[in-house]
Chain A
Amino acid sequence: MAELTSNPVGKNTPRVDAYEKVTGTAIFTDDLPFGPGLYYGRLVRSPHAHALIKSIDISKALEVPGVKAVVTGQDFDTRIGLYLVDRPVFAKDRVRYVGDPVAGVVATSEDIAEEAAKLVEVEYEELPAVFDPVEAAQPDAPLLHPDLGEYKVANFIFPEPGTNISEHFRLRKGDVEAAWPRCAAIVEDTFRLPHIQHVPLEPHVAVALWEPSNQVTLWTSSQSPFAQRDLIAQSMGIPHGNLRVISPYVGGGFGGKAGVSMEVYAVAMARAVKGHPVKLRMTREEEFIGTTVRQALVAHTKIGCDAEGNLLAMETEYYFSGGAYNDYGVNIVRAAGYSCTGPYYIPNVKGDSYCVYTNMPIGSAMRGFGMPEIHWGIEQIMDQLAEKIGMDPAEFRRRNCVKTGDIILTGMKMPAIDLVACIDKVTKAINWGKKEPPSAPHKKRGKGIAIMWKAPAMPPNPGSSAIVRFNEDATVNVEIGAQELGQGAFTVVAQMAAEVLGVPYEWVRVSAPVDTKYSPYEWQTVASRITWSTGNAVKAAAEDARQQILALVAKHWNEDPANLDIKDGIVISYKSEREQPLKDMVIYGLPNENFEGWKGGPIVGHGKFMPTYVTNLDFETGQGPRAVVHYTVGAQAVDLEVDTETGQVEILKIASAYDVGKAINPDLVLAQIEGGAVHGMSSAFEALKFDERGRPLNPNLVDYRIATAADAPREIHGDIVETPLEDGPWGARGVGEHVMVQTAPAIANAIYNAIGVRFNDLPLSAEKIFMALQ
């Protein structure tokens, strides 16, 4: 037997799911068996970016042998959405992007459904389309949602009916106009980011069963089983108790499997064939345009500093291309608004962040949630300002970066963090300030730095809950509603439970799959919030169980519970030195003297966590006592070479440091740092491309090139900084998204350092770099 690990918090325990995943026995949604009654669904998608639906004729499709049902927007009256309920179940009167589903075909095989889908005849009347968010925000732009004013919306989101603006966040602090004349250096520029896609290893898949009794079950690869239950129940008129969402392991989410995307179509199709499960799975091509993408951004930003390098003022407009439906995306834009300065203390700020409907794929959550987008421009401007006043860019950042206790842009006091320590770590790791030679005469070498911040972007009150229960042998089941996406959630909660309960790590199991019928509530596995929020709930549940155990044994021994402890699965008394193995008592309880009755019973601990202190922000100024729960901060430095004959960039090294409060499992933090660096490279070098009619040009892995293991830097260096978070379990805060937020601008700054050319627009293709050198 392998060695047992006591007190595992802070140790590199192996992942609880390692064996299953390495050996290929881990179960994913598409692996689940459903027997011969299983039907398959395929979607009919719009070929137009913007058009009215004049008619839909499903008769030919229905005649195909094996076709069981065809559903269209006419079959559903409601919309769906998390923050802004703007998305019809199927497009009803108009389509708003190339790929917008207009009908779903259910058949006995995927192939039959596909063939029949081609026979659904849709008559369209094309409308003028708009793709650029700045154009779409103009008063005379073609309107995508004339009914915007009627949509249900969260109380902190502010759409502007009669326009394409689905959210406008305003930040006003100090007086920027008065500050500009005091600036010794000002940089003003426009930066553009294109759409990118998450490219999870496992494409979206959902299986829905609508029973004749109107009980509905949805099996889905999801970061958000509970949010899916909530949103689908509301939109489809199912009582929450009648809708059960079961979610096995998720083969990568990165935000793309947050909220509801294609899953509602599976449920809608299942309603038409009650009693038969219906499987809907996205092809890789559909994954690119038929699920969600990261929103594109146009940022106009102006920042100024004095001669000593103190930032004085910032004015910025962020125009996010929200795509056809902004049900989730509006909150990305709000987050970009209340964090619009990036990780800097700036006394005077004017920020406007707009989410704009465009005839593009649906923009939604993606790792970083607005932060990679805004840091792209901010972090390049900081380098330019430093250069203008003759200061080292790292020193410039040390001077201006946000520090513990600062009153930041929203008026909130910055919780404890140490961003300067992160800058110190990465500059040391990359030999900052030392010019190193390139590997060949036709290459040029450069180094760049970028820093970041990100808060969990959520409603004010997202809850987590957990249950800890013992088995007969004192092994433990931890039940959570948070999902294992590969990020290591199950491993860290097992570590936390073992730590509190005083049992070896190896005794803890995490109940899976997540099942809304049995798992305790969890808002969503998003926002890098699980280690912190679910961690707090698990810690509370384990403490509850622990207290039950100690109270019982103390009573049994007639001792004070304060003198008792649990070590390696044995209750011990520091006073009497008595011992009581957990395995003899956590289910059966303990006998009274002479077996005159028993006390105790199965130990089950409950815990919950919900932040209670976040406030809404003023509509006009974005000011409020507490905008967010906390921020995680970090720094990255990049060392690279540019081949001046081809424009190709080779990343030699990426050094990252993040203040995670407490690394519950340092190896998992370093794994996030490595994965994030490579993901960040993909976000710098590749993008979705569209033709002039909004049709995707590269929705496939042939022409959408993500960085591979071969492209990864020879060295990815990671450092962990630990400034405890006040309400984090053992001080921990999340780091899942932060690790890629500033990679693209760090690369751009290093390219500038190498060749003296700045790039305001992503992606950084070799061709673009080469042409700029000519």
Chain B
Amino acid sequence: MLARPALPSFDYVRANNPDEVVRLLQEHGAAAKLLMGGTDLFVRMRDGVIRPQIVVDVKHLPGMRAIEYDEGAGLTVGAAVTMNQLARHPQVQTHYPLLAEAANSVASYQVRNRATLGGNLCNASPAADTAPAVLVLEGRLVLHNPQGEREVAARDFFTGPGQTAMRENEFLKAVRLPPPPEGSAGKYLKLGRNKVGDLSIVGVAVFAFPDGTKPSGYVFRIGLASVAPVPLRAWEAEEVLATHSPGEETFALAAEKAMEAATPIDDVRASAAYRKVMVRALTRRGLERVWEALE
């Protein structure tokens, strides 16, 4: 019923190379869990939700804690880069301020010293604060497996609460983001019960940039957290914004569509009804803020 006083016992292995990780995953199957920051894993172990026999620490593998930016290739963030590392990285702040903003909204400063981008995404909580940003920035997840590696688009990654497209013998090595489009702007709005440290009741990321090929002259992307089994894009809302000229009416219509895309649940944090209308309110607010920045 209640959480244990401390973690149950388990074996800890610090992995030295990617192949060792794959071998351990194949050997132990579901009894093995990967450790990065541990801010979700250990909580779930203490709560008795999971009880892995072996915990494989992957954050010391080469490249796992590196952030690399290249004008042509874009940004590569090692899966074990911490939220604080990400949020204060100069090139992330300059070229991907939306990602920095989202990372900085996760939990509290102390937790952000441990929590990682990869962990946040692989944990696949519908409330993951970085997921909407990675979705609208069209990120791709680099998965290591026995064959080498493969990339999965963020939009295809989340398959259910706590479920991802990652196979049992795979692990996340890095997240790649394409170079930011010229003149882009973004905003992440998070509704919590208090100002710091809460899980999102609703999270909305808005990202936009000029694009002459669109009837409206702009591409707008909207990512939602905490309002469906998985973090998701509000495709119909985005379509409205691609086809209607930006302004109050369009934003209201798009916000309505975003609300329709949300299929939230009632829980101890908020009701589904409140969450839905908050998607509308925050989407409209996010669109207005981003539009101000674009203009």
Taking Cβ atoms with an 8 Å cutoff, the residues of A that contact B are 42, 45, 47, 98-99, 110-111, 114, 281, 283-286, 289, 645-646, 648, 685-686, 689, 695, 697-700, 702-703, 705-708, 710-711, 765-767, 770-771
A645/B281 in contact, CB under 8 A: yes
Q: Is the CB of B8 within 8 A of A766?
A: no
Question: Given that A645-B281, A697-B268 are known contacts, is A710 also in contact with B196, CB under 8 Å in the complex?
Answer: yes
| 14 new A-B contacts at CB < 8 Å, known A45-B1, A645-B285 | A98-B1, A283-B2, A283-B4, A283-B5, A289-B2, A646-B282, A702-B199, A703-B268, A705-B192, A705-B197, A708-B194, A711-B194, A711-B195, A771-B274
**Which residues on the B side are within 8 Å of A686 (C-beta)?**
193
Residues of B within 8 A of A283 (CB): 2-5
Q: Which residues on A sit within 8 Å (CB–CB) of B191?
A: 646, 648, 766
User: Is residue B58 within 8 Å, beta carbon to beta carbon, of the partner chain?
Assistant: no
Assembly CA distance A703 to B194 (angstroms):
11
Q: How far is the CA of A119 from the CA of B197 in the complex (A)?
A: 36
- B268 and A710: CB pair below 8 A? no
B5 adjacent to A767 (CB under 8 Å): no
B6 touches A111 (CB 8 A): yes
In the complex, what's the smallest C-beta–C-beta distance from B187 to chain A, in angstroms? 15
A45 contacts B2, C-beta separation under 8 Å: yes
B270 within 8 Å of A (CB atoms): yes
B binding-site residues for A, Cβ under 8 Å? 1-6, 8-9, 191-199, 268-271, 274, 277-278, 281-282, 285
In the complex, A646 Cα to B274 Cα: how many Å?
9
B275 (CB) vs chain A CBs: closest residue: A767
Given that A110-B6, A770-B274 are known contacts, is A705 also in contact with B198, CB under 8 Å in the complex? yes
Contacts of A646 in B (CB 8 A): 191, 278, 281-282
Q: For B2, list chain A residues within 8 Å (CB).
A: 45, 99, 283, 285-286, 289, 699
State A689–B193 Cα separation when bound (angstroms): 15
Q: Is the interface of A mostly helix, strand, loop or mixed?
A: loop
Main secondary structure of the interface of B (DSSP, over half): loop
Q: Which residues of B contact A110 (CB under 8 A)?
A: 5-6
Distance (whole angstroms) from the CB of A137 to the closest CB of chain B: 28
Quote the shortest CB–CB distance from B254 to chain A (angstroms): 16
Q: Which 8 pairs show the lowest CB-CB distances between chains A and B?
A: A710-B196, A710-B195, A285-B2, A767-B274, A645-B281, A705-B193, A697-B268, A705-B194
Chain A residues within 8 Å of B192, by CB: 705
Query: Looking at the complex, which one of A98, A685, A700, A703 makes contact with B269 (CB distance below 8 Å)?
Result: A703
Residues of B within 8 A of A702 (CB): 199
Contacts of B199 in A (CB 8 A): 702
- Chain A residue nearest to B189 in the complex (CB): A646
- Indicate if the CB atoms of A708 and B197 lie closer than 8 Å: yes
A281 to B5, CA, bound (A): 9
- Interface contact B278-A685, CB-CB below 8 Å: no
A766 with B268: CB separation less than 8 A: no
Q: How far is the CA of A172 from the CA of B223 in the complex (A)?
A: 62
Measured CB to CB, the closest approach of chain B to A692, in angstroms, equals 14
- Taking CB as reference atom, which chain B residue is nearest A767? B274
User: Quick one: which of B2, B4, B198, B282 has the most chain A CB within 10 A?
Assistant: B2
19 contacts between A and B (CB under 8 A): A45-B1, A99-B2, A110-B5, A111-B9, A114-B4, A283-B2, A283-B3, A289-B2, A645-B285, A646-B282, A685-B193, A695-B1, A702-B199, A707-B194, A708-B195, A710-B194, A710-B196, A711-B194, A767-B274
A286 to B3, CA, bound (A): 9
Contacting residues, chain B, for A703 (C-beta < 8 A): 268-269
Q: Which residues of A contact B6 (CB under 8 A)?
A: 110-111
Q: Which residue of A has the minimal Cβ distance to B46?
A: A283
- Are B268 and A47 neighbours in the complex by a CB distance under 8 Å? no
- How far apart are B201's CB and chain A's nearest CB, in angstroms? 8
User: Using Cβ atoms and an 8 Å threshold, which residues of chain A touch B268?
Assistant: 689, 697-698, 703
- What is the CB-to-nearest-CB distance from B287 to chain A, in angstroms, rounded to a whole number? 13
In the assembled complex, the CB of A589 is this many whole angstroms from the nearest CB of chain B, namely 55
Q: How far is the CB of B41 from chain A (nearest CB, A)?
A: 15
Nearest chain-A residue to B280 (Cβ)? Answer: A645
B196:A47 contact, CB within 8 angstroms: no
Q: How far is the CA of A284 from the CA of B2 in the complex (A)?
A: 10
Assembly CA distance A347 to B211 (angstroms) = 75
Are B270 and A767 interface neighbours, CB within 8 A? yes
Chain B residues with CB under 8 A of A710: 194-196
Which residues of B sit under 8 angstroms from A706, Cβ to Cβ? 194
Q: Report B114 CB to chain A, min CB distance, Å.
A: 16
User: When chains A and B are docked, how far (Å) is the Cα of A765 from the Cα of B192?
Assistant: 11
Q: Which residue of A lies closest to B191 (CB)?
A: A646
